[in-house]
Structure formats: C-alpha cells, structure tokens
Chains A and B, each alone.
Chain A
Amino acid sequence: MLNAKIPAGPLENKWTDYKGHCKLVNPANKRKLEVIIVGTGLAGASAAASLGELGYKVKAFCFQDSPRRAHSIAAQGGINAAKNYQNDGDSVFRLFYDTIKGGDYRAREANVHRLAEVSANIIDQCVAQGVPFAREYGGLLSNRSFGGTQVQRTFYAAGQTGQQLLIGAYQALERQVALGNVKMYSRHEMLEVVKVDGKARGIIARNLVTGKLERHFGHAVLLCSGGYGNVFYLSTNAMGSNVTAAWKAHKKGAAFANPCFTQIHPTCIPVSGDHQSKLTLMSESLRNDGRIWVPKKQGDNRKPNEIPEEERDYYLERRYPAFGNLVPRDVASRAAKERCDAGYGVGSSKQAVYLDYAAAIERYGRIEASKEGKEDAPLEEIIAWGKEVVKEKYGNLFDMYEKITGENPYEVPMRIYPAVHYTMGGLWVDYELQTSVPGLYALGEANFSDHGANRLGASALMQGLADGYFVIPYTIGNYLADEIYNKPISTEHEAFAAAEKEVSDRLDKLMSIKGNTSVESFHKRLGKIMWDKCGMARNAEGLQQAITEIQELKKEFWSDVKIPGGITEFNPELDKAGRVADFIELGELMCKDALNRNESCGGHFREEYQTPDGEALRDDANYMYVAAWEYKADSNWELHKESLEYDVIKPTQRNYK
C-alpha cells in the first residue's frame, strides 16, 4: 500500500533530479485546474500564495475569521536555515544530520535532506517579502542557537518569528486574493473529503457563521491543517486547533503515520488550576541564556532566591555537559519530569522547575560594564545593565510570563514545566507530500514526514514554509499534469451529495443527543487520560487501560453530550463537539500506536525501554519503520510499515553528553 516514491540516485541529487524530471503543467492549463487548500498557517498560506502565483485556481479555507490568525503565528523562537552566515561550520548536510539525529532516526533521509536544501531559499524569500528578521548593526541578518545543535543557524524576529513569517505568507496570500487567483473562505471548516473514482475531488465545508454546508470541487486537495496536540486538552496549541480535517481524510483512506509521536516542550508556564484552558510556551530560546535547576533537597520549600548556589542542582548541565541546557526538547522534558517525580519539584504544585536568569543578567551586565570601561561598578548597577540587555532580547517573553503568573521574572526565577506542543505524527505522505489517497496532500505539521520522533526547535517553521513555498509547487504539478484531461466535476455529482449527507447526518446526530454533559468536560477527561497514560512516559499497562477508557468515553460522549443552539447558526459549541468527537477517536489510535511501538525513541518514551541511566532505548532491529495506520472500521485499524532506509547516516544511540 505504501510507496514513498523516493527518487533514485545519491541523496544530495534526489531533489534536483526530481525537479528536473517531474511533469509540468503549461500556464494555459493551470488556469483550468482547481486546488483546494484547507488551513492557512505557514504551510497553507505559503502553498496558496505560491500556487496562486503559478496560475492555479485556488480556494483556501480556514476556520478563523482571517487567515492571519492561524496558530503558526504563535511560534516564538525562530526558523533554521543552513546559510552558514556565522562561518561556524554549518552546511546543508549538517542541518540534515542534526534533524535526523534530533528526530531519533525515525524520519526519512530523502525528505529531510530536501528540507535542509530549501531552508536557505526560505530565508531569502521571507526577506524579500519584508519579514523584519533581527539584524546586526552592519545591517546583516542575525542568528542565534537552538536546542540540539552546536551551530548558530536560527533566524528570528525577537520572540515573534512565527508571527512575522505568517504575516509574510498571509500578505502574499492576500495579494493573490486581490489578483483573483485565490478565493478565501474564512470561518469555514472542512468536514469531509469528497472522493470520486478513488481520487480526492473536493470537500464539504461548513460555513461557521450560517451553519450551512457547502460543496467545493478541486482537482486536488491540500490539507495544511496543523497538528493535533489539543487531543491532550491542555497544550500550547490554539483553542481552535484540531485534527478534524486530517481525521476526515484518514477515515476516507489516508493512512495516519506515527500518531504517538508527540512533542512535549520543556519550557512552558505550569498549570495553575482546574480552570486552565491552555498552556503557554516560553520560547526555547530562553534556554540559550537561562539555567534550569531544582533544589538539591527534596521538598525544599524555601523561596528560590533563598536557596544558596551550592544547594541547587543544575541537572541538565550535570547530566549533559556537552549540550547543557540546550539538549533537545524530549531530553529536557523528561529530565524535568524525572526531577519532579523524584520529589524535587518546586512551586505550590511541585510540578515545576526553575528557569533562572540571574546568572545571565549578571554576565550581560559585566559585558556592558566592560564596554563602558566600568568593570568595578557596584553590583546593582551591573545587574541593572544586565536587565536591560535581557529585556532587549527576551522582553516580550518576560512580559508574557509576568502577565500570566503575576511574578517578575527579572527578580525571581521563572517556574516552568513541560507541556504538549507539537505533533510529529500526522497523515502519511510520500516524497511528493501526497497521502495514500491520490490527489490528497498533507503539508506542514499535518503530515508526519520530516521530524521523526522528535522535532528540533526552529524546525517547524522551516518545514511548513518549505512544503508550501518550495516543495508542493513542483510535486503537485507532477500529479495535475495528468488531470488536465479531467473537466471539473459538478458539485451535483452523487459523490458530493453522499458526502454532504454523511456530514449533515452526523451533525443531526450530535444535536439530537441532548444529553447532560458539556463538550468541554468530555474534552477535559480525554485530555487527562492522554496526559496520564500516553504523555511524557508510557507503559503497556497504562496504554491498554487508556484504550478501554477512551472507548468508554466515546460511548458516553455519543449518548450524553449536551450541545446548545442549532445547526444552521453560529454555534461554537457544535463546532467544538465535532472536533472533540474526532479527538476521541484519534486518542485511541495514538494509544494503539504507542502500545505497538515497543521501544523508546524521541518524544515516545516507553518506561519498559530505557538505558540504565534513563535515556530512550531504541530498537532499530524491530522498529525502524514508519507506522502507518489504515482506518478499517470503528476502533479498527490495519498497520502498514514503511521501513526506513539509512543510506548516508548511521543510526547510533543519541548522545548529548
């Protein structure tokens, strides 16, 4: 069933050869070909803009009120690119290597190499669009370092890189809207894929303002709908982020790959109470300068500033001297959990560790002092200068922390704890980003392809834009070149009617339950099961329990959910109900996938499989494959294995010591 269609030839020539030989569509024909794009984040907006520029007739859909709201906007730290502007030994190969290693050898070499190749073009494109990246005084682009790498290859715009990149793509998209090449449907949610003769031919979308269902035809359908971290209820995702589009595609035949690979980000603001609706990330870039520690004494209730230096355990620096606080996310998260579980956690919940800027403030202060030739200035003055520097670098993040917690991070260490952030798993795609349904593509976080079992920081933005700007414009042509013989299919076609009926039946069913329990409380319960049993650490027993619990929750949901209002109106509760119903089904598959994978790798940590010093223990002999699940029936999936071939890199035990 699965053919990854990886081009032959040496790794570094694959993409060039592919581009040189793929089929093209002439401009006159492009005008006749319609492409549907679901989601307008970095992947969707960049794809819509680029395909519009090429001359395809594009229809783009987003559930928010404007494409600019997509959650890519919240990405803080930066975007990687193998530019080697710093002359510190970076190269396409090294970015490729770091990404494969960071992903714990569970990603495809060919895809990742292509990603590293186009990374440099992304920066150029964004600069040309007017993305105001940080610059040095000489006017050239500035870089910083990120977790899991030893070079400085991360381009950034303060702590708002995702926002700036998305606005760039959004503006390119709006330009195509103005030119009439793209038609934008905001406040629309895709609720079904329409297949004709085995190929994706359109979607059923619901206008979220009127509640009416709409049929839209496309010669191809691109899903750029992001990740599914909200299956955990609490995550750093936006409230509306959901799996529905991908899940509908999955149920219509698209395989779902490595669903259990979820990234728990180490530096988030800890949960404060039951009311919590979401978690907020503090950029990984904070680990550049901040030091992470817990007290050496268990259950130490002293205030952080009262704990003397020698009674602090800088556990990352202790355990991983080579990378220190800049180990990859999965490693940092697990280390934090390990300390908290062992009773060293801080704060009222004891589920937090300190991220301390005192040392960085003093260090920067001394640098400023020496610049001014005032090395012997009093400490308070040095600290004040240091605070200014830190403010310039991380001010917006510190402000955000203060707003949420009411504590001043310039004075007291921040409390952080890992939280669900990104999902490496997603719809299975081949080298061309096509899912197992012909004509149906998945881009960005919605697909599974580039990050293996763990994504490195500043790579999500890179992948989303690579897929949208530089990959899909070529690969979609290879498919659409044969579609020029097919006239647009009328939305009166029976396949559209049947798909629409499916959707409206489901909506009717949801509304007719009229139970007693709100959607929100089902979501919370699902999240708790997932976090406890399929979160940072998993074991077979817990996963089996989780599967049973989720199946029960599903039954209860479909008999007791309470949704106010009606179908043909603006009804956010109904929108949410549909999404939660899909999350419940996905949750079950995630647990099954985690249970199947009897090894630990990247973000997937099975307690049964660890090295003596608590690191993830892979089983390359048995699990060096992509687990692609085909939907068969309710709670019934078939596993397909795409084995991973490493021709260039030799997988080893990841070592950040």
Chain B
Amino acid sequence: MEHYNMNLTLKVWRQKSSNEQGYFETYQVRDISSEMSFLEMFDVLNEQLIKENKEPIAFDHDCREGICGMCSMYINGKPHGPWHANTTCQLHMRAFKDGDTIVVEPWRAKAFPVIKDLVVDRTAFDRIIQAGGYISVNTGNAVDGNAIPIEKDKADAAFAAAMCIGCGACVAACKNSSAMLFLSAKVSHLSLLPQGDPERKSRVVNMVAQMDKEGFGACTNTGACEATCPKEISISNIARLNREYLTSSLTAEK
C-alpha cells in the first residue's frame, strides 16, 4: 500500500452545551498521513488547537477497533464516513485525498441531545434495553448449555442481530430519526432463541413503547439505517419486529 500525505480543510460542528446554539468552525490540518485513522487525524487537530490555546473538539471514542460503539461522527453526509460497514474509528485517511474538505457533524436527533461539540447523549438506548431487551434469568438459574439444542441457522441469525454495537448510526441516518433498526436487532436476537421465547410478547411491546417515549420517529422502511450500519444489521429484522408486534397485539388478552 502506497502512503501519502495530505492537507485538508475541516468544517466541524462546535456547540458548547445542549442548550446553546451550535455553529460550524473551519480548520486546516497539514501533512496528514494516509495511514492515520480518522480519529488520529482529530487527535492531531486537537493537539494543534491546544497549542494555539483554543479549546479542543470534544468527540466520543473508546476502543478504536470498531466494536464498542462509542464513536459517532457524521462525516460528509454519512454516519461513520464514506466506507461501507465501518465505524468512524476504523475509517482511515486513505479514504481522502489532498485538498479535500470534510464536514463533520454530530448525530442529529431529538432523542440524542448534543452534550458538547460532536458528543451526544445516547442513554435513550439504555432505557430501551431496560424496557425489555433481556432474558429474565437470575444468576444460577441456568440449565446445562447443551440442554436445549438450537438450530444453527437460527443461532447464526440471532448472532447476526446481536452484533449491533449500539452506536446510533441508524438513528443518525434515518430521515425520521427512528431507532427501529437498533430495537429490531435486539428483538430479533432474543426472539430467535428458545430462551427468549417466554418474554417475546411483552418485550416487543414494551420496547416499542419506550422508543416512542424517548422521542424517536417511526420507521418508514427507507433502508438508510441498513445502508449505514457498521455491523450490517439487516432491515429484515425490522420486518420481524413488526410481525412480533402484530402477533403480540392480536393475541393479547386485554
């Protein structure tokens, strides 16, 4: 792989806190190596800002290997930037060329208020999980791991849904700021497994109610979530959620 250096113009969203107006600020960075990760380029920019006695840009990040789900930039009109099935931390600068202008925005959704600059509050996702995204089994209650065989296809499908990293890119990409892909990944993961069966009806209903309460929009099946998801969670999970929901509502006693 040939390496090269580049100079870039960055337009970055700055916002002091959730209740203040945000604005774009333009920065220049020089001699950025194509081997750097996007966040390392931000590290360079922040070091530069500190040197100039300016306030560094706040952004969320932690594992920097694409699995914790903490990084969350909306880069040039796409959550996590131009690469397919990727997180911001795994985006590398060889995706850009010398002289490029890059616009960086936070996830924008009412349910994800900005905390500072590019950092948003995603605790709504935790509350959705609290509403039913679990299997109620206390420690010590389990039977042997091989007591219930699970069809490989189903186990694989459950795993594919469980790969969701909870980053919120689906919400950021959706024109309705809907959290349906996130929600449906969890509903699918648990309802595909026999262990999740006893709670499947209440789970989907309660989780959807919580999603609505948090101020996410309704799903209109545009598919933007699936296209942007770093873990390629399939939109068919949403259809599965809909079916779970329909069944639950039709068979509810009251």
Q: A and B touching (C-beta < 8 Å)?
A: yes
Name the distance in Å between B20's Cβ and chain A's nearest Cβ: 12
A139 touches B62 (CB 8 A): no
Q: What residues on B are CB-neighbors of A71 within 8 Å?
A: 62-63, 68
Q: What residues on A are CB-neighbors of B184 within 8 Å?
A: none
B123 touches A518 (CB 8 A): no
Q: How far is A83 from B39 in the complex, measured between Cα atoms in Å? A: 42
Q: How far is A590 from B3 in the complex, measured between Cα atoms in Å? A: 37
Q: What residues on B are CB-neighbors of A138 within 8 Å?
A: 149
Q: Which of A83, A164, A184, A209 contacts B162 (CB 8 A)?
A: A164
Name the distance in Å between A57's Cβ and chain B's nearest Cβ: 17
Name the distance in Å between A74's Cβ and chain B's nearest Cβ: 5
Q: Which of B33, B66, B70, B143 contacts A69 (CB 8 A)?
A: B70
B123 touches A65 (CB 8 A): yes
Name the distance in Å between B38's Cβ and chain A's nearest Cβ: 11
Is B26 interfacial (CB 8 A cutoff)? no
Q: How far is A520 from B42 in the complex, measured between Cα atoms in Å? A: 13
Is A215 interfacial (CB 8 A cutoff)? no
Q: What residues on A are CB-neighbors of B39 within 8 Å?
A: 277
Is B108 interfacial (CB 8 A cutoff)? no
Is A390 interfacial (CB 8 A cutoff)? no
Q: How far is A157 from B43 in the complex, measured between Cα atoms in Å? A: 33
A139 touches B47 (CB 8 A): no
A129 touches B195 (CB 8 A): yes
A141 touches B146 (CB 8 A): yes
Q: What residues on B are CB-neighbors of A125 within 8 Å?
A: 137, 139-140, 142
Q: How far is A172 from B141 in the complex, measured between Cα atoms in Å? A: 13
A139 touches B66 (CB 8 A): no
* Count of B interface residues, CB-CB < 8 Å: 79
Q: Which of B104-159 contact A (CB under 8 A)?
A: 115-116, 119, 121-123, 125-126, 129-131, 133-146, 148-152, 155-156, 158-159
Of B86-94, B217-225, B237-245, the segment with at least 4 beta carbons within 8 Å of chain A is B86-94
Is A311 interfacial (CB 8 A cutoff)? no
Q: Which of B20-70 contact A (CB under 8 A)?
A: 33, 35-37, 39-40, 43-44, 47, 49-51, 53-56, 58, 60-70
Q: How far is A174 from B44 in the complex, measured between Cα atoms in Å? A: 37
Of A369-377, A403-411, A593-601, the segment with at least 4 beta carbons within 8 Å of chain B is A403-411
B149 touches A130 (CB 8 A): no
Q: How far is A446 from B63 in the complex, measured between Cα atoms in Å? A: 18
B158 touches A130 (CB 8 A): yes
Given known pairs A65-B121, A129-B135, A178-B131, the reply for A85 and B146 (CB within 8 Å) is yes
Given known pairs A50-B139, A239-B62, A273-B35, the reply for A139 and B149 (CB within 8 Å) is yes
Q: What residues on B are CB-neighbors of A127 within 8 Å?
A: 142, 145, 148, 195
Q: Which of A83, A139, A141, A521 contacts B151 (CB 8 A)?
A: A139
B145 touches A573 (CB 8 A): no
Q: What residues on A are CB-neighbors of B116 within 8 Å?
A: 569-570
Q: How far is A177 from B136 in the complex, measured between Cα atoms in Å? A: 13
Given known pairs A65-B121, A123-B145, A573-B56, the reply for A128 and B137 (CB within 8 Å) is yes
Q: How far is A121 from B142 in the complex, measured between Cα atoms in Å? A: 8
Q: Which of A130, A178, A572 contacts B189 (CB 8 A)?
A: A130
Is A299 interfacial (CB 8 A cutoff)? no
Is A53 interfacial (CB 8 A cutoff)? yes
B50 touches A573 (CB 8 A): yes
B159 touches A406 (CB 8 A): no
Q: How far is A407 from B35 in the complex, measured between Cα atoms in Å? A: 12
Is A49 interfacial (CB 8 A cutoff)? yes
Residue from the set B61, B67, B142 with the largest chain A CB neighbour count within 10 Å: B67
Is B79 interfacial (CB 8 A cutoff)? no
Q: How far is A281 from B67 in the complex, measured between Cα atoms in Å? A: 12
A277 touches B130 (CB 8 A): no
Is A400 interfacial (CB 8 A cutoff)? yes
Q: What residues on A are CB-neighbors of B40 within 8 Å?
A: 275-277
Is B75 interfacial (CB 8 A cutoff)? no
A69 touches B139 (CB 8 A): no
Given known pairs A132-B189, A139-B149, A573-B56, the reply for A124 and B134 (CB within 8 Å) is no
Q: What residues on B are CB-neighbors of A141 within 8 Å?
A: 145-146
Is B211 interfacial (CB 8 A cutoff)? no
Given known pairs A74-B65, A573-B56, the reply for A518 and B130 (CB within 8 Å) is no
Q: What residues on A are CB-neighbors of B190 within 8 Å?
A: 130
A238 touches B123 (CB 8 A): no
A139 touches B159 (CB 8 A): no
Is A163 interfacial (CB 8 A cutoff)? yes
Q: Which of A140-162 contact B (CB under 8 A)?
A: 140-141, 155, 157-158, 160
Q: Which of A68, A128, A562, A570 contacts B115 (CB 8 A)?
A: A570
Q: What residues on A are CB-neighbors of B151 within 8 Å?
A: 139
Q: What residues on A are CB-neighbors of B90 within 8 Å?
A: 400, 403-404
Given known pairs A562-B50, A572-B58, the reply for A277 and B64 (CB within 8 Å) is yes
Q: What residues on B are CB-neighbors of A129 within 8 Å?
A: 134-135, 137, 195
Given known pairs A121-B142, A407-B1, the reply for A66 and B62 (CB within 8 Å) is no
A140 touches B149 (CB 8 A): yes
Q: What residues on A are CB-neighbors of B85 within 8 Å?
A: 399
Is A646 interfacial (CB 8 A cutoff)? no
Name the distance in Å between B119's Cβ and chain A's nearest Cβ: 7
Q: How far is A276 from B36 in the complex, measured between Cα atoms in Å? A: 7
Q: What residues on B are CB-neighbors of A277 within 8 Å?
A: 37, 39-40, 43, 64
Is B165 interfacial (CB 8 A cutoff)? yes
Given known pairs A132-B162, A163-B67, the reply for A406 and B126 (CB within 8 Å) is no
A403 touches B86 (CB 8 A): yes
Name the distance in Å between B169's Cβ and chain A's nearest Cβ: 15
Q: How far is A399 from B90 in the complex, measured between Cα atoms in Å? A: 11
Residue from the set B86, B122, B162 with the largest chain A CB neighbour count within 10 Å: B162
Is B82 interfacial (CB 8 A cutoff)? no
Q: Which of B56, B61, B122, B133 contacts A564 (CB 8 A)?
A: B56
Q: What residues on B are CB-neighbors of A272 within 8 Å?
A: 35
Is B83 interfacial (CB 8 A cutoff)? yes
Q: What residues on A are CB-neighbors of B55 within 8 Å?
A: 564-565
Query: Which B-chain residue is minimally distant from A280 (CB atoms)?
Result: B65
Q: What residues on B are CB-neighbors of A132 within 8 Å?
A: 155-156, 158-159, 162, 189, 193
Is A321 interfacial (CB 8 A cutoff)? no
Taken residue by residue from 387 to 408, chain A's Cβ proximity to chain B (1 for < 8 Å, 0 otherwise) reads as: 0000000000001100111110
A-B contact pairs, 15 of them (CB 8 A): A71-B62, A74-B65, A85-B146, A121-B142, A136-B152, A160-B163, A240-B62, A277-B39, A403-B83, A403-B92, A404-B92, A521-B47, A564-B50, A570-B58, A570-B119
Using A124-B143, A277-B37, A570-B17 as known contacts, list a sample of 6 further A-B pairs with CB atoms less than 8 Å apart, ordered by residue number in A. A65-B123, A66-B126, A74-B67, A130-B193, A238-B64, A275-B44
Interface residues of A (CB under 8 A from B): 46, 49-50, 53, 64-71, 73-74, 83, 85, 121, 123-130, 132-141, 155, 157-158, 160, 163-164, 167, 170-172, 174-175, 177-178, 184, 186, 209, 236, 238-240, 272-273, 275-278, 280-281, 399-400, 403-407, 469-470, 473, 518, 520-521, 562, 564-565, 569-570, 572-573
